[in-house]
Amino acid sequence: MKGIGVPEIVISVGLLLVLLAGFLPGGTRSQSKEVLLLSQEVGRIGAGNYDYKHIPLVSSMMLARGVDGTPLITQKESREVAKGIITTQEHTVRFSIPASTMGDLDTATLLLEIDETNNYGPLILTLNGNEIWKDFPGEGRLEVELPIAYLQSENSLKLSAGSSGWRIWAPTIYKIEELKVMETLSRDEEQTFTFTLSKDELKNYYMGRVYVGYMNPQISGELAITLNNENVIFRGEPGTGAFNTAFSSGIRETNTISFKLLKDGYYEMRNVEVVIFTRTNASSIFVTNFEVEPVNLAQLRDGSWTGVIEIRVNVAADDILRVTLSSETDRQLYEAKAPEGLLELAFTGDEVSSTNRLMIESPNVYEITDVKIKLVKNS
């Protein structure tokens, strides 16, 4: 019998190494087909109870952008003030400043349109009993800043004329076509608040809502509400009255929530709070987090790979099963009565980011053996 020579041994070892390269860890064949991101047992889900927690943010706030002044009072009727030997005509303007804005009052300004005057005597302005201005304005527009130190919640501004002096035959006259008192408030176009959750609240977190007890858009503008600087949970122009908007993703132990005007407007908001809903029965819903490495995320987004979620249903319920995938936004992948057996759901690179959250829930009881999340290379 002829023995095996050295060349034959070398060839055999080479073939063996080639075969092993496809199956041992690090071999190209095992990496090119599939990447397992998560494999987790589930159990029974559905028919759970929920609790909630109110987190007050602020009792009252205002946002303003591109608002130079807000009218406190406007009078368009013609008025005349005069002063002579036998003639005295004065005009008193009464206006209120809301208590909620007094502390933020930046300026208050009187705007007049003088249609006619003889300038025989001065025009005199008296605010709450204090003479604040005295001069001889000509015809046209007049603007006078009111001293904030003399302003109150209820105000009286008197317009009067000074004596015409030696011109005893004619009184001083000022005819006024239009009068306004404007306020300018020191307002931010954005306000940010911080709130925290405990580890148990974060673990059993289900969803959250932002509530505004009363929204008063004095000048409508586009408002954005953002959670943790990245999750825009509302963008639009809310109307007058109670307001709320929901969010489910992007929550952390320490959170920031911001209210910002994207376009010119002026909003007053009262009793602003966040309400956090948590599951009191942890098995009522299944939630898990998973990560996608940057190289795999790039492969998903260029279409060379596809994400697959495998849900093995052991006992199905006569009710819907809802599967939600959350990253920067919430994507509902499935909402229907799920059959028993293997349920496969696909996702793309546009539906995930580096950190993601999978949620499975139902109004009724499902028994789910396990969940797997993997990436599969497209052929």
Residue with tokens 């898990």: 288
**Predicted confidence band of residue 29 (pLDDT cuts 50, 70, 90):** very low
- Write the CATH number of the domain with boundaries 32-48+283-377: 2.60.120.260
Position 137 scores a pLDDT of: 95
Domain ranges of the chain: 32-48+283-377, 50-65+187-279, 70-185
Is-same-fold flag (32-48+283-377; 50-65+187-279)? yes
Res. 260: pLDDT tops 80 = yes
- The tokens of 113 are what? 């349109």
DSSP-assigned letter for residue 30: H
Backbone angles phi, psi at 182, to 5 degrees: -110, 145
Position 49 scores a pLDDT of: 63
- For residues 18 and 122, what is the distance between their CA atoms, to the nearest angstrom? 106
- For residues 39 and 371, what is the distance between their CA atoms, to the nearest angstrom? 6
Residue 375: closest CA among 292, 267, 314: 292
DSSP-assigned letter for residue 2: P
Q: What is the mean pLDDT of residues 256-269?
A: 90
Half-sphere CA count of 109, side-chain side, radius 13 A = 16
Q: What is the mean pLDDT of residues 126-130?
A: 96
CATH number, domain 50-65+187-279, options 3.40.50.300, 3.40.1210.10, 2.60.120.260, 3.40.640.10: 2.60.120.260
May I ask the CATH class of domain 70-185? mainly beta
Q: What is the mean pLDDT of residues 116-134?
A: 95
Q: What is the mean pLDDT of residues 305-320?
A: 91
Position 290 scores a pLDDT of: 94
The angle subtended at Cα 227 by Cα 267 and Cα 306, nearest 5°, is 135
